[in-house]
Amino acid sequence: MVTTKPGADDGLTRAAAEWWVRLREPEPAAQTIEQWQAWLEADPRHAQAFEQVCQLGESLHAADAPTRASLQETFAPAERPRPRWVAALAIAASLVIAVLGWRMAMHGGSGDAADFQRYASEIGQNRDIRLSDGSTIQLGAASNLTAHYANGQRDIELGAGEAFFTVSHQQDRPFVVAAGPVRIEDLGTAFNVRRTGQQVTVAVTQGRVRVQAPGDKKQAGMELVAGQQADYDPRRGVFSMSSVPVDHVAVWRDNRLEFVNEPLSTVIANVNRYSRRPVQIADPRLGDLTFTGTVKINTIDSWIGALPRVFPVQVSSFADHVVLTSSVR
């Protein structure tokens, strides 16, 4: 387990760099991911340090061999008195360069070496990401994804949460998003993907995407165009299609969450990505109730307090969480 000493900048940066290395294993263990997320949430400085190391890694990966050597000499010279912050960067740079060198060696030194990047956001905080091909991602709060570019393929895996993709279309390099059991292929577009467990919602604002569910015998999936949305129900293993105003797609970027006839369990799970006091549903039957409406991110507490006016629930508030119980006896 990676640890840090409070107030030690070099130790913090080293820990961030070590997480950077561990997360770039081909298939990191689920426990590793959980430990990393716990480390991120333990202190706001952790996410900042991890972001700095990621930026350093991206810069080094894009650089040619002479530039990498120059950066290594700048940040990690063999023997020279260095300020504390330079020492911290030296540790990160050494780890990053070592990993990049190993990956390049594994691929015979070719420019097609796999490019792995993992991104995560904190509760209540969205994040903007720019990928190496010019595509951009707006990552919703408490979300995480992995970008894997290799062998002419651009693969994104949305582990949890929500993301809006604006894709730099390249005919010979497919851009594919995996969200649980659902596969989404870019056909020149901008689109939003929300993953709540195995339940997935895809909505398009521009261009087209092809979505495919597991077990699709046609292997072709179906296409969505701007103004269309597909909701995947894992219990039935099928998509349901609907129309959605383009300006209502990804309104979370404007600090509000919109739901149309969705299970309360799904609504609460997504509200929890923005709430500092997570909401727990004590009675599973409550989770099957459906909700249509808007939740403003800056007034979540008020929305929770008003739930008894809409549903047969009781709200019990505690210092660090909220519990919903049935008011029907």
Tokens 């949460």 found at: 161
- Give the CA distances from residue 258 to residues 32, 249, 293, in Å, rounded to whole numbers and listed in that order: 33, 9, 6
Residue 152 region by backbone torsions, left for phi larger than 0, else alpha for psi between -120 and 50, else beta: left
The two counts, helices (H) then strands (E), for the chain are 7, 16
Question: How much is the average pLDDT of 73-83?
Answer: 50
Q: Check whether 101 has a pLDDT greater than 80.
A: no
**What is the pLDDT at residue 102?**
43
Q: Tell me the CATH number for domain 255-326.
A: 3.55.50.30
Helices (H), 149-281: 264-271
Question: How much is the average pLDDT of 176-186?
Answer: 94
Question: How much is the average pLDDT of 86-104?
Answer: 49
Helix/strand/coil percent split, the chain, to 5: 35, 35, 30
What is the residue extent of each domain of the chain? 1-113, 114-247, 255-326
> Which residues does residue 193 pair with via DSSP β-bridges, in sequence order?
163, 202
The pTM of the full predicted model, rounded to 2 decimals, is 0.68
Find out if CATH 2.60.120.1440 is the number for domain 114-247.
yes
Exposure string over 61-100, b if 16+ CB within 10 A, otherwise e: beeeeeebeebbeebbeeeeeeeeebbbbbbbbebbbebb
pLDDT level of residue 115 (50, 70, 90 thresholds):
low
Q: What is the largest CA-CA distance in the chain?
A: 74
pLDDT, tens digit (0-9, with 9 covering 90-100), for 33-44: 667 777 877 777
pLDDT, tens digit (0-9, with 9 covering 90-100), for 7-60: 445 577 777 777 776 766 555 566 676 677 778 777 777 877 777 676 666 555
| DSSP, residue by residue, 206-217 | EEEEEEE-TT-T
Q: Which residues contact 51 (CB under 8 A, 6 or more apart)?
A: none
pLDDT, tens digit (0-9, with 9 covering 90-100), for 228-241: 999 999 988 889 99
Q: Check whether 117 has a pLDDT greater than 80.
A: yes
